[in-house]
Amino acid sequence: MYEEALINPSQVLLIRNNTDTQAECLLRDRSTVTVPCTAPELLERFCLRHGSTLKGRQDAFRLIMHTRQKTPVLISGSSGRIFFPLLSPDDPACIWLCSNEILKCRSRGNGKCTVIFVNGDEYELDHDARIVSKQMKRCEKYLQLLSKKV
């Protein structure tokens, strides 16, 4: 059973919706946890723990990066923990990856890739490696811009 206090955003590698009302989180310790809310609802909870809203974090990213699509979400400014979507966040099949936890991404051909996390886990995606790489670069650039503004 889901207990919000047990899911720390710093432990989450990936979030994906299972159903219209549940999401699944892949954690650093290689376990998976099902939560009774969607991925955006879980990200909202993570943001609120750090004094902001999901919309506020997305608006800030859009304003600073001059972008509108597939907007990443900075969970915590102090830790730099940032999640990015592979599809439109409104798409129920959207998967969110934690940029901080990705070691590399390798193409498998035919628009598919394997994401290799820092802990050694590998996760196969039905998405092109270029999408993952582009999102990772956007996250890195955003964090660099934020650190310069301090």
Tens digit of pLDDT at every position of the chain (150 positions): 344 545 889 999 999 998 888 999 999 999 999 999 999 999 999 999 999 999 999 999 999 999 999 999 999 988 999 999 999 988 989 999 999 999 999 999 999 999 999 999 999 999 999 999 999 999 999 999 998 865
Q: How far is CA 122 from CA 14, 21, 39, 88, 113, in A?
A: 11, 26, 20, 23, 10
Pairwise CA distance, residues 104 & 67, whole Å? 24
Q: Helix, strand, coil proportions of the chain in percent (round to 5)?
A: 35, 30, 35
Dihedral of CA atoms 69, 38, 100, 49 in degrees, nearest 10, equals 110
- Going 100 to 104 to 108 to 109, the CA torsion angle's sign is positive
- Whether 36 and 22 have beta carbons less than 8 Å apart is answered as yes
Q: How far is CA 120 from the centre of its chain?
A: 18
Query: What is this structure's pTM?
Result: 0.92
Sequence ranges of the domains in the chain: 4-149
CATH of domain 4-149: 2.40.50
d(CA 124, CA 108): 9
* Rounded CA separation 121/100 (Å): 14
Q: Smallest Cα–Cα separation from 138: which of 130, 149, 126? A: 130
Nearest alpha carbon to residue 82 among 114, 110, 116, 47: 47
